[in-house]
Amino acid sequence: IGPDVIDIRKLYAQTGKFTYDPGFLSTASCQSAITYIDGDKGELLYRGYPIEQLATQCDYLDTCYLLLNGELPDTTQRGDFHKLVINHTMVNEQMQFFLRGFRRDAHPMAVLTGLIGGLSAFYHDSTDINNPKHREISAIRLIAKMPTLVAMAYKYGIGQPYMYPKNDLSYSGNFLRMMFGTPCEEYVVNPVLERALDRIFILHADHEQNASTSTVRLCGSSGTNPFAAIAAGVACLWGPAHGGANEACLNMLEDIQRQGGVSKVGEFMEKVKDKNSGVKLMGFGHRVYKNYDPRAKLMQETCNEVLAELGLENDPLFKLAKELEKIALEDEYFVSRKLYPNVDFYSGIVQRAIGIPVNLFTGIFALARTVGWIAQLNEMIGDPEYKIGRPRQLFSGSVPRDVKPIGQR
Ligand code: ACO
């Protein structure tokens, strides 16, 4: 609580007055020590460490350890944590029968919401959110099993056999193999793609009180089990204004490409600026960043590396994205509203180049964000001031009235 922040709870206690703040534009729902964003500077820190340093000097599991424990691991802690996660990568064999109940063409986010929620039906010994041991083990299970479940959802959708985790691979390497390997041949992990994927995971690991994280906190605040709370986060992330933006962004780029590519960018931008068109430049704009999203810069770098590795330097969608960005950054509409590329603008191009299908992009985001959701959940439960989340409302409905007999209505 600083000079610019009012503790509204005190005002409420004294006056009974509460605030009206749709979309939580000016409401801090909690105190948090996990992630810091300076939206004007375009700065993002996890536990005080700049995202640029974490993305270039650490791997995703180091980042998970940091988010969960507040400090980066030393060598022993790192080894122990990696081993612990690896020990939990397999899922209960019955999960595959659960998965089989879905249509093969179901959206992976629908499947994942079900599978993650369903974990609470398989792991009864870690469902008490108020028990620190249960929270610890459910956290490890979720982080470890997410890649397995995402890959299973993918393999099920394309009718290929599931690949069991191979625990001598890195977290990201293992995921690549479960996604793209087959039992017929040895899968060799490409280190450039492995590193790119790991970076995607790091950049998406946490982002303070966004819609899905707030959903996880609110859901967990009722005392539900950790798997159910994370499933709620997955459901919220799916929306195109949030995690679904990477899928929506790639679909947008493909649409423009189909209509003529770079030559159609000007026409498309006119539609975006026309408020009646309902068209947005997906992957642009952010509630908090009023400057370049630092993750977008790192993602653009990764995009260059991956496309070069795969010999796709002339990828038309990448060219198109760069052209859209160039025009937007010079256009009064975007400049005056401080609209810059966000993390989703380039992440779709990287994922597509790796071979990840477009409808799985948000699933990859959910995989990476799971650790952030868990860290935020743990922080909330550990806070002595924590209460069930219960927003108020301004009632705008009918005055009291009597029910009329059906013939008189
Ligand atoms: N394209 C065109 N105009 C935009 C865009 C966009 N992508 N984003 C915002 N604007 C305009 C709005 O129409 C509004 O204009 P107005 O002042 O004339 O009414 C102004 O910029 C402010 O935007 P708001 O919608 O009020 O900003 P808000 O903070 O509510 O929304 C959001 C942020 C949802 C991210 C929005 O920018 C958006 O929809 N972007 C596209 C979707 C997207 O990329 N989402 C991913 C976010 S990052 C993440 O979740 C990982």
For the chain, 409 residues long, give each residue's pLDDT as a single digit of tens.
677 888 888 888 999 988 999 999 999 999 999 999 999 999 999 999 999 999 999 999 999 999 999 999 999 999 999 999 999 999 999 999 999 999 999 999 999 999 999 999 999 999 999 999 999 999 999 999 999 999 999 999 999 999 999 999 999 999 999 999 999 999 999 999 999 999 999 999 999 999 999 999 999 999 999 999 999 999 999 998 888 888 889 999 999 999 999 999 999 999 999 999 999 999 999 989 999 999 999 999 999 999 999 999 899 999 999 999 999 999 999 999 999 999 989 999 999 999 999 999 999 999 999 999 999 999 999 998 889 999 999 999 999 999 999 999 9
**What is the Å distance from ligand 1's center to 51 Cα?**
23
Considering the entire predicted model, what is its pTM? 0.93
Nearest CA to ligand 1 atom 31: 287
Catalytic residues: 286, 344
Residues 392 and 21: beta-carbon distance below 8 Å: no
Residue to mutate, 203, 215, 237, 280, ligand 1, most ligand atoms under 8 Å from C-beta: 280
Give the count of alpha carbons within 13 A of 242, CB side only. Answer: 19
Q: Pocket of ligand 1, candidates 206, 271, 287: which has the most ligand atoms within 8 Å of its Cβ, to mutate?
A: 287
Q: Do 150 and 365 form a contact (C-beta atoms < 8 A)?
A: no
CA distance 409 to 398: 16
From 291, 342, 373, the mutation candidate for ligand 1 (largest count of ligand atoms within 8 A of CB) is: 342
Half-sphere exposure of 194 (CA within 13 A, CB side): 15
pLDDT score, position 189? 98
CA 286 to centroid of ligand 1, rounded, Å: 6
pLDDT of residue 385: 85
33 CA to centre of ligand 1 in angstroms = 27
d(CA 296, CA 361): 16
Name residues contacting ligand 1 (CB within 6 A).
Answer: 241-243, 245, 272, 280-287, 337, 339, 342-344
Q: Whose CA is nearest to atom 12 of ligand 1?
A: 337
The two structure tokens encoding residue 287: 């509630």
Report which DSSP code applies to 38.
E
Please state the atom number of ligand 1 nearest to the C-alpha of residue 342.
48
User: ipTM more than 0.90?
Assistant: yes
Give the integer Cα–Cα distance in Å for 32 and 216.
14
| Ligand 1 atom at minimal distance to the Cα of residue 286 | 35
pLDDT at position 9 is 86
* Predicted pLDDT at 28: 92
Q: Closest ligand 1 atom, CA of 242?
A: 50
pLDDT, residue 1, reads 67
Residue 257: what are its φ and ψ, rounded to 5°? -60, -45
Q: What is the pLDDT of residue 7?
A: 86
Rg (CA), the chain: 23
CA-nearest residue for atom 3, ligand 1, is 280
Q: Which long-range contacts (CB under 8 A, 24 or more apart) does 2-11 make?
A: none
Task: Please tell me the residue having the least CA distance from ligand 1 atom 9.
Answer: 285
